[in-house]
Structure 1
Amino acid sequence: MVNEMRKILIYIILIMLPIDVTLGNIIGNASLVSYVIILYMIISIFDILRNSWKIKKILSNKIILSSIGLLAITLITNAILGNGIVIFNENILFLCFLYMDEYTYQEKEIMKNSIIISLVIVILSIIYTSLILKYNIHGRATIYLGTVADPNYLAVGLNLIIVVLLEKCLDKKRIINYILFIMGIIIVFATGSRSGLLSISISIILYLLLKNIKNIKNIKNIKNTIIIWSIFIVLICVLAINLIPDYVLQRINIQSILQDGGSGRLEYWKIGFIFLIYNITLFNVIFGFGYNSFSTLTKSILGEYVGGHPHNSFIQVGFEFGIIAFIIFIYCIYENYKKIVNDKNILMISVFSGLIISSITLDMVLTRYFWIIIFLNSIGFGIKSVKN
C-alpha cells in the first residue's frame, strides 16, 4: 500500500514536472511539486525504518552513490562558506528515495503516459498565459501561473516528452501521438530557445539512428526512415516558422548565434576563467568558491551582475564546488552512460545526450528535471521488456 501511494505521487510529479518552476507562489514560495516531493520523502522515511535493507539497495547503485557523493561535497562547501543550495540538496535526496522501489513494465508505461499528459498541461498553460494573460518574454512563449518559466528551461524540459512521443509514433502510429509531437516541436520553436532546439534535435536524430542501427544490413530501410522523418520534421519547422514571430525566429539563426556568442555566454565564461587564474587558492581548488559565486565574483570585472549562475553545469560544479565535486559529477555522467548503453536503452541514451548538450549552455544540474532523468536511467525506463 505504501509503495503504491509513493508511485502515484511519482506519476503526479511527472505530470507536473515541465511546469514545476511556474507553480511557486501559489501556496507559499515553493513550487507545488516541492510539497508533493516532501510528502513522498516523509512516506519513504517511514518505509525505510521498517525495511532497512532498502538503504543497502540505494548504496549498491553507482549512479546513486556518486550523486550522494556530490551532495556530500556541496554540503561541506555550504557549511564552510555559508552558501545555501536547498533545491540541489532536495533533488538528490529525492533521487535516493525514488530508487528504493522496483518498477514493473506496466508502471513504467504509466510513467510514459504521465509524461505525455504533462505536454497537454504545458499546451493548456501556454494558451492560458499567451491568450488570456497576454504574457510573453520579448515575444518568446512561456508559462506564467504562480511564477514565470524561463523559456530555455521550458524548452529543454520538453526533450523527454518529445522523444517518448517519437517512440510512440514509431511503435503505435496513432494520430494523437503525431499531433502532440508536432505541437511539442512548435512550442520549442516558440520559446526561441537555442539550447532547447539543439538538445532536442540531437535527441531526435540520435533516437532515429539508434532505432535503426539493428537493421544495419538493410541500408535502404535506414535511409527511408531517415528521409521520411526528415521531411516530416522539415514540414513541422515550416509550419512553426509561419506561426512564430520573426523576433523569436531570429534568435535561432546562425548569424545571430555567432554575433552574440550565445547571448554573451562565451565572454562571460572567459571573464570567469580570467578571475580564476588570478585569484584561485588551494582551498578553492578543493572546495570551489561557493554556490552562486560565479556571477558575484565576475561582477568585479564586468562591472555588472549577469544572472545568478554561469549558464554551464560543468563550470557551475567545478568553479563553485571544486575539483572533487567536478570529478564526481563527471563520474556520475559516465556511470549513467555506462548503464543505459549496456541496457541498450535507446530512448534514454537519446534523452540523456540531449540533456548533457543543454547542460553546456544552461545550469541543468540545479533543475529537478536533471535528477529525474538520472532516476529514469537508473530504473531502466524505456527498455523494451516482456510484460509482467
Structure 2
Amino acid sequence: AAEEDTASSGKTDVLMDVNLSLDFTEQYDSNVFRDADDDRKVDDWISILSPHAQLGLGYGIFRATLDLDYTQGWYQESEDDNYQDHWLGSDLRWRFNHRNELAFRSRFDAAHEDRGTELTEGGARVVPEPVEFDAQRHELWYQLGTRQSVGRLVLTGTYYEKQYSNFREFTRFRDYEENRVMSAFFWNVAGRTGVQFEVTARDINYLTDPTPVSGQPDTLDALATEFLTGVNWNVTGKSNASVLLGYRQRNFDDNDREDFSGPSWRIDTRWSPKEHMAFTLLTAREDRETNGLGSFIDVKTTRAGWEMDWNSRFSSVLTLLVDKEDYEGTEDGRVDTNRVARFDFEYHMRYWLDFGVSLVNERNNSDIDRFNYERNLFLLFMKISNE
C-alpha cells in the first residue's frame, strides 16, 4: 500500500534496503555419484557455505533489486568434486499507475552440475570433476490491470542461454538458447473465482549441431507451443487453487525426429485448515531438454507437502515428490520414475539466527539399469540474516 501511494503521488523519496545472509550446511550423502552398483557407491560429507547480499532501491515509480549469491562446496574425501557457484540477479520495475506495470529481470549464472547428474547421469566417472556452465536469462514483463481488476493481461518475453565451459568435446553439443513469449489473460468472473487463458511459444536453438547423417536424427532445434486454460479459486483467503488444462506441441527442424503433441496441465492447490498449518498439492506435465538420450523429456510431476508451525520458534515441512520422465525419441525407450521424500525441521532461535535439520531419501527407477540408484541425505544447516 505504501508503494502505491508513493507511485501515485509522484513523490521522489529515495528508499534503500540492504539484506545480508550467510548459510552454512553440513551434508552427508550416501551415494555421491548416484551409482546403480552397490559395490561402487561412494559416500561423503560435504560442507557448503553460501553468502547472499540483496540491495533494494526505490525512487518514485521505480524499484530495483540486485541479488548477489556465492556458493562453495567442499567434499571431505572427493576433493575433485569441490565447486564454486556464482549468480547475479536484477529486477527493475516501473509502476506507472495502479494498472500499468513494467519489469525487466536478468540473471547470470556461473555454476556446475554434480557428477552423476544431467550430462553425466549414469556415468559420473567419465569426467574427473564436475561439468561447469555459464547461463544467462533476461525477461521483459508487462502487466495491464491488477489482481483486483475484472480483467488482467500479462505479457512476457524471455531469452535464455546455457553454454558449458569444460569437457567441450561432448558438452558443446548441449549448448543452447531459447526465445520464449507468453501471454496470459485473467478474468474475474465471480467473487473469488477467475478464469485464466495462457499461450506460450518457445524457439529452441542448439548452438552446435552434430554432423548431419542422412536418415539419422541430428539437430535438436525445435518450436514448442502450449495452450492452457482453467480456473483459479481463492476460497477463504487462506486456501486457493489453480487448475489449468491444455495442449502442447514440439515440432523439430530435423525431419528425422518425430514431432510430438499431447495434453498438458498444471494444478496447484494450497489448503490451510488452521492458521499454523497448510497442505499443498502440485501436479503438472511439461517437457524438458534432454540430457543426452532421445529428443526431449516428457515429464509428469506430482508434489505433496505438509507445512506446520508448531509454535513461534519451531516449524517443519514434509515433502513427497514423484517425477515420471519419458525420454521421447530413444531407440529402445527409457522411462524413469524418480521419488523423493524430504523432511525439514527448523528452529528460529533469534530473528537473525535459524538452525535446522533435513532428511532426504531419493530413489530413481529406470528401465535402463545404469540409471537406477538410491541415496540418503542428512543435512544440518544454520542461517544468519539481518532480515
Q: TM-score scaled by structure 1?
A: 0.23
Q: Relative CO higher for 1 or 2, CA cutoff 8 Å, sep ≥ 6? A: 1
* Bigger fraction of residues in helix: 1
Tell me which structure has the larger Cα radius of gyration.
2
Q: TM-score scaled by structure 2?
A: 0.23
* Bigger fraction of residues in strand: 2
